[in-house]
Each structure stands twice: as C-alpha cells, then as structure tokens.
Amino acid sequence: MSELFSPTTVGPLQLSNRIVIAPMCQYSAEQGIAGDWHMIHLGHLALSGAALLILEATAVSPEARISARDLGLWSDAHADALAPVLAAIRRYSPILLGIQLAHAGRKASSQVPWEGGGNVGLAAGGWQTEAPSALPHAAGDTPPLALDGDGMRRVRDDFVAAARRSHALGLDAIEIHAAHGYLLHQFLSPLANARADHYGGALENRMRFPLEVFAAVRAAVPAGMAVGARISACDWVDGGWDIEQSVVLCRALQAAGCDFIHVSSGGVSTEQKIAAGPGYQIGFAERIKRECGMPTIGVGMITEAAQAERIVAGGQADMVALARAMLYDPRWPWHAAAELGAQVQAPPQYWRSQPAQHKALFNTDVNLRNINSVMSK
C-alpha cells in the first residue's frame, strides 16, 4: 500500500492522503480583491486529487502586500470576493482548504516577478515598508521603518482580523507565513533584526513577536480550525537563522498549539547560497519531525511520485507539498496514484478519462457520497 496515499491527521483535520498544494503567489488581484483568475486557478487545482490546497500568501493589510497585485483579506469586501470561489470549490471537490496569512515586511512594495520583482520606491508609486529594523533587503531598496510597539500591535491585530475572516469563510486551516524573508522571518533572523529591545538580540527575544502573532491567531479561531506555520529552517548565510534555532522555534510553536509545520528555507538575504537539488529541504523537515514530533510538511523540488513516496514512507515528513510541479501538471496526484497502485478522488465528470490499464484509479464510492451530499442541500 502506498504511504503517500494513506490518510493522516493534522490537528482537527482528517486528510485523505499526504499531498498538499503549497501556496503559490499569483499576483493577479485588484487592490487585494480576488477575481476570475482565482476562480479558474483554484478551481482547477481543487480537482487535482490532493488532500489539502493552501491559498497563496494573502496580505493582512495593504502595506503587507509583496506587490500591488497580491491577494488580500484586510476587509469584508475581500472576504466577499473570495466567498464564491470557495463555494464553487466546495460544491465540486472534497479537498480541504487552507489560507496562508502573510506580511511581507521590508520585502513589500515590489514589482510582480514578470516585471523584474524589484523594489518599487515611493516616487514610483510604491509604499513605505516596515520591518523589525530599518535595514533594507537589498542595496538600493527604500529603507523600511522599524516597527514600534504600536506598529507591532497593529500588525498582530491585522493577522487576527484576517484569521477571523478566514474562519467565517469556512476555510479549514490557516498557515502563518514566517518564511521566505517576510516580516515574521525578519524578526527571527539576526540578519534582518538588529533591535536592542526585548524583540531583538537573543533567540528568545527574536522569537517573541512571531510567537505572539501565532498565539493571537490561535486564540482568535475555534479549535476545529487547524493553525500551523511555514518557516524557513535556514537562511543559507553564515551567522543567520539555522536549523538549530528552527527546532527551538518549532517546540515553542508546538507548545502554543501549532498543528503543523511547513518547512522551507531561505529568502531573508541576497547573500544566501542555497544548495538546491531534488528534495534539498527535506533534511530540515526530517530533523524537525524527529525532534519535535509534530505533523510536518516537506517541500522543495519534489517532482516524482517515487521520490514523494520515499519521503513519506521513510518518515522524513508526514506530508509533501508541491508548487511548481503542480502548476506544470495539475493532475500530478492522479499520475502518482497510477504509478504507485493507489486510488485518488476525482469528479465524476472525469471518471471516463481513466486509462484502460488504470480502471481502479478513481475512488468512485467517495465521490458518490460527496455528490449525494451536495445534491441533498
């Protein structure tokens, strides 16, 4: 039996398999408002057969956006725009839905990637960024404002408000973004945090604000909603954040009620030297899983079914997350199930697509139950 297609539990959630669709920024919102692209893109991925789909990094305030085209959830209007997208997915797919709540910090006010991704200065229509310290991410960037106590409380409250809207939308999970060099990662890393108060310096101090944000979000939503975090386990820079500090953070998050850890790396420094390769971040996930014992999602150049099966079966991670591989092949879970001799959920409109050699690929009993449930409403 395939371990990749075995069920698992993540906090209050029951996942039908171990495949997660990772958050992937689309840079296609208007003033943070979801539109037709999100209906097409997310609806497409919802039919993939994965167990959990996590919506892209979603800004908790206007200044929290990476770019002016980021998805947002800082008002009821933003929630209203997402509601029909989620309702359509719920009608036709049993996939669980999460959202990644984020603040870009000093990496905000940037161009979209296909326009270069560089910092957009104030004179060019950008906005003032904010960070733990007034240290720009790259030479030539507009220096961020160092957050004071009132600013930090505002950011925390923005996360809480977005979390409450996420719950009201009926989402199953929240992932707090503390990775990839964005605001909460900036507090963690000594490369971005030069504060001299009790939010800087020692590891305990650098962890304080991310833990405060996590605790506030956890307290703001019911226990039936999973709340986890994505972290960068290593900065890939000498003297930066590393796996040893990540283990300490994960233990603290676990004590605060964290349901899962999504383990990535890098993003906080232009000096990073990443040793990229297939599954290059899985060792970080494996250590965190071993030393903390909490549900762990591994990610990073996972592209092959056999590779994903080895990761899960070998105990390196409880789940694997795919991003670019899923964009390239939105039916990746179907193809992986066929290769591994497993079953996957698919909409009945597609049942006739099964190749002759894979007539038992689709779990039709599960889908029939879902259809009957929808039609009875």
Residues 336, 342: Cα–Cα separation, whole Å: 8
pLDDT tens over the chain, length 377 residues: 999 999 999 999 999 999 999 999 999 999 999 999 999 999 999 999 999 999 999 999 999 999 999 999 999 999 999 999 999 999 999 999 999 999 999 999 999 999 999 999 999 999 999 999 999 999 999 999 999 999 999 999 999 999 999 999 999 999 999 999 999 999 999 999 999 999 999 999 999 999 999 999 999 999 999 999 999 999 999 999 999 999 999 999 999 999 999 999 999 999 999 999 999 999 999 999 999 999 999 999 999 999 999 999 999 999 999 999 999 999 999 999 999 999 999 999 999 998 989 989 998 875 544 544 443 34
| Single pTM value for the model | 0.95
Residue 182 annotated in active site: yes
Catalytic residue among 92, 182, 199, 328: 182
Residues 262, 298: Cα–Cα separation, whole Å: 6
List the chain domain ranges: 8-345
Residue 366 pLDDT: 58
Residue 368 pLDDT: 45
Residues 203, 205: Cα–Cα separation, whole Å: 5
Angle between helices 243-255 and 282-292 (to 10 degrees): 50
User: CATH 3.20.20.70: does it fit domain 8-345?
Assistant: yes
Quick check: 298 and 282 in contact, CB under 8 A? Answer: yes
Residues 218, 195: Cα–Cα separation, whole Å: 26
Tokens coding 113? 């990637």
Residue 364 pLDDT: 84
Residue 359 pLDDT: 87
- The position carrying tokens 């997208």 is 85
What count of other Cβ atoms lies within 10 Å of the Cβ of residue 256?
A: 16
Residue 301 pLDDT: 96
Residues 6+ apart with CB under 8 A from 267: 179, 180, 181, 182, 185, 232
